[in-house]
Amino acid sequence: MNKLIKKMPQKLLEQIPYTKSWSVRQKWLIQPELTNNCNFRCVYCPHSIYRKKVDGSNQFNREKGYMSEELWDIVLRNAAKYASIIMIGFFGEPLLHPKFQSFIRMIPATRPYILHINTNWSLVTKENMETLKCFDLVRISLDTSNASLWERLCPGGPVLDLNGVPSKDRHNMVAEKIEYWLQLKDHSPTRLVCVVSSINEHDVERHVSLWHPKLSPRDHVQTKTILSYGGVMRDSHMSKYPCIIPSSKYLTVAWNGDCTPCNLDVNIAWNVGNLCEETDMKKIVNGKRWKQAISDIKRKQGICMNCLDANNRSEDREYWGVGSVQNNGDACKPLKK
């Protein structure tokens, strides 16, 4: 266990950004992208159609790379001053970053913000689980409990076993490692994220029922409607929703320092400045480019023309482990039919 990083006090976990609280935060949610490389090609994710032409949609074609240590240091200095939440992930698998563990060790013990991470869990081993225990919320993608359906949903690279050896049994290895993690007494609060699309909609109820009994009171399964990621993806589950970005305090920092106010802007199309150059994010969020971008977003210009669903979380649901204080004892809400 990394002794440099302590967990946030439990009461701060109440600030984990569920839909209603996001627009009232006083400080910033910073979303740093350690890398936009991913070892999976999930069919609901723009990585599955990278640089491919899809009629009428925006195209994901941004250059791929890894965040430098210099930029990560700048991100952390800004986080200390301005952030209430740091959400590591954005648009790649963060554990692919060669310096993932040392980057996390750079986070100061006295951090005044909540720390989240998104991962597909493929590269998690017993060793780096120790680093994951430093997070206030670990969000793991797992969209089905059916191995063959999962292979259709999430094709891609190998999944490591607990000792770091690649396994051919990809789905079962991910599931086995999640179970191992959930049984650790000191595991971080965990969200199993199930993206609901036309491909797995029939399986969601079974999936939640299977995982729910394995959760501790600090864990939950979240069912989450597929998103278009700024008009890149399409699915019959998507529906029109007003964009929350103009009233939110989000800053997404891409691996090369380019910043956008939109948490779904996979191409950094709303590029409002570069954090390597500006070093202080206040120069970006108070700058002319930021104001212009927010004005254009409000008028549905640029990529927003194709992004009807925006951040539509109206159908997202959370199924907490039995005994959770989060749901007042009502451990599992009924699934929507």
Which residues would be at the binding site for ligand SF4 (CB under 6 A)? 230, 243, 245, 262, 264-265, 297, 303-304, 307, 310-311
Taking the complex as a whole, how short is the minimal distance between the CB of residue 308 and ligand SF4, in angstroms? Answer: 8
Q: Are 241 and 314 in contact (CB under 8 A)?
A: yes
Please, which residue, 221 or 304, has the CB nearer to ligand SF4?
304
Taking the complex as a whole, how short is the minimal distance between the CB of residue 108 and ligand SF4, in angstroms? Answer: 31
Give the separation between CA 204 and CA 219, rounded to whole angstroms.
Answer: 18
Give the separation between CA 55 and CA 32, rounded to whole angstroms.
Answer: 30
* β-bridge pairing 220-225 and 317-320: antiparallel
Please, which residue, 216 or 267, has the CB nearer to ligand SF4?
267
Taking the complex as a whole, how short is the minimal distance between the CB of residue 239 and ligand SF4, in angstroms? Answer: 13
Q: Are 196 and 171 in contact (CB under 8 A)?
A: no
Please, which residue, 178 or 303, has the CB nearer to ligand SF4?
303
Amino acid identity, residue 90? F
R_g of the chain computed on alpha carbons:
19
**CA atoms 104, 109, 115, 120: torsion sign:** positive
Beta bridge partners of 274: 258
Taking the complex as a whole, how short is the minimal distance between the CB of residue 304 and ligand SF4, in angstroms? Answer: 3
Please, which residue, 219 or 309, has the CB nearer to ligand SF4?
309
Beta bridge partners of 119: 140
Taking the complex as a whole, how short is the minimal distance between the CB of residue 266 and ligand SF4, in angstroms? Answer: 9
Please, which residue, 204 or 254, has the CB nearer to ligand SF4?
254
